[in-house]
Amino acid sequence: MLTKLKRQLDYIDRVENDLQPVFRQIDKIVLYNQGRVLNAFRNLHIDETCFTESTGYGYDDLGREKLDSLYAEIFGGEAGLVRPQFVSGTHAIACALYGILKPGDRLVSLTGKPYDTLQKVLGIADLKPFGSFPDLKIEYAEADLIEEINTELLDKVLAKKTTAVLIQRSRGYAHRRSLLCEDIQALVAAVKERSPETIVFVDNCYGEFVEEKEPCHVGADLIAGSLIKNPGAGIAPGGGYVVGRADLVEKAAWRLTAPGLGANIGAMGIYKRQYYQGLFLAPHQVGQALKGMVLAAALFSHAGFYVDPKPYDRRGDIVQAIRLGDVKLLQSFCEAVQAASPIDSYVTPQAAPMVGYKDEVIMAAGTFIQGASSEFTADAPIRPPYEVYMQGGLTYEHQKLALAEILDRLEREGGIKRQA
């Protein structure tokens, strides 16, 4: 493989040299976050007994309780809820929202239309399923304050009593930038100034450990995310988390299990060691992913494609968007990602309908954990302008090899000009 891709790898090495200042900054963030995580493990006296399997109801599971506390300390909350019973990030977000909202309440998204899979929960997709917001008589509105805090618009949307606001940190399948913690801090301050009782909830998916702070550190009341994204480091086999104010986390726990049971019940199975180890490795793995995405941005920008973010931009998540502009090029790109994967490399990804998405989606994901976005993957909705969204990467070396494979395939198929 190295011989076959030597010319592409030589070209990548030359591009990589110019990115060293960005890589050094990423290394600083990784070191800081690794220190935060290590200190939390020490402070909570994590030991071998925390990994013991629990079964049945899971009563008195000290390892589960310490894992909750570990997430709370690392992510800046009063309490945490970390469970394999969360089937996805969307499920964790939905539990949090259903926990803090009741009929007659109002939620406002401050970052425009949310990610595809959440739209059905909110009842703003074509399908409004049983149990969605309209069915529960929960009001929903939205405003796009991503680029700037339009005070007139914010005054307008908060003029009516608003129980909670939603902030989506990552871009999703949208032409928008991911938010930095300083952006979230400004939004929190603007909301609290106008409506102190309004709950600020942040969808933190793809953003964990990208910066030195997390949303709860800058005033968010509640956050949620997936363990097969950043905080699981490709080791956690599934699950999700909720962190924030203790009373709000308890409400999410009651929604996940049942009122009165909450976080005091729920067997963790045999996977607690993976949850702990994944969290410990997460700062490093996120750093690896970020370096790969910065490199991808530089390579495809040089090849003439529109990329977002740019190589030297500050990043709020681990996602890299590349606008290919052609459905055939999109297919070839995803085929190359799949071919360069450790698992299912012989499979050809095909666009298909997926639960929670309006358009057909093509996903290249030869991952050890099914669908793990912490691993090097690429996916795209089949709709103009045919942007592909790459994310993750367990090792930077794998990302380099995969990017060489992608460049080689697209060049052979005439999708990009020959590299110098």
The answer on 336 and 194 residing in a single domain is no
Bridge partners (DSSP) listed for residue 191? none
Question: In which domain, by residue range, is 287 found?
Answer: 6-33+280-412
The answer on 390 and 334 residing in a single domain is yes
The answer to whether residue 67 sits within a structural domain is: yes
In angstroms, the CA 382 to CA 331 distance is: 10
Bridge partners (DSSP) listed for residue 388? 322
The answer on 187 and 67 residing in a single domain is yes
The answer on 312 and 179 residing in a single domain is no
In angstroms, the CA 65 to CA 250 distance is: 13
Q: What is the pLDDT of residue 353?
A: 85
The answer to whether residue 21 sits within a structural domain is: yes
Q: What is the pLDDT of residue 417?
A: 62
The answer to whether residue 257 sits within a structural domain is: yes
235, 269, 303 — which closes off a domain? Answer: 269
Supply the CATH number for residue 109's domain.
Answer: 3.40.640.10
The answer to whether residue 388 sits within a structural domain is: yes
269, 298, 328 — which closes off a domain? Answer: 269
The answer on 379 and 245 residing in a single domain is no
The answer to whether residue 217 sits within a structural domain is: yes
In contact, 231 and 279? CB cutoff 8 Å: yes
Q: Which amino acid is at 50?
A: C
Please give the model's pTM, rounded to 2 decimal places: 0.95
The answer on 319 and 172 residing in a single domain is no
The answer to whether residue 75 sits within a structural domain is: yes
Placement of tokens 């996916």 in the chain: 379
The answer on 59 and 23 residing in a single domain is no
The answer on 223 and 83 residing in a single domain is yes
In angstroms, the CA 211 to CA 28 distance is: 10
pLDDT digits (tens, 9 = 90+) for 355-401: 767 789 999 999 999 989 999 999 999 999 999 999 999 999 999 99
Cβ neighbours around 131 below 10 Å, total: 13
Q: What is the pLDDT of residue 409?
A: 93
Low-confidence ranges of the chain (pLDDT < 70): 1, 127, 356, 417-420
Supply the CATH number for residue 378's domain.
Answer: 3.90.1150.60
269, 301, 323 — which closes off a domain? Answer: 269
The answer on 331 and 262 residing in a single domain is no
The pLDDT mean for the chain works out to: 94
Angle at alpha carbon of residue 406, lines to 404 and 409, rounded to 5°: 105
The answer to whether residue 39 sits within a structural domain is: no
Domains in the chain: how many in total? 2
The answer on 332 and 384 residing in a single domain is yes
The answer to whether residue 42 sits within a structural domain is: no
Cβ neighbours around 149 below 10 Å, total: 16
The answer on 202 and 61 residing in a single domain is yes
The answer on 111 and 53 residing in a single domain is yes
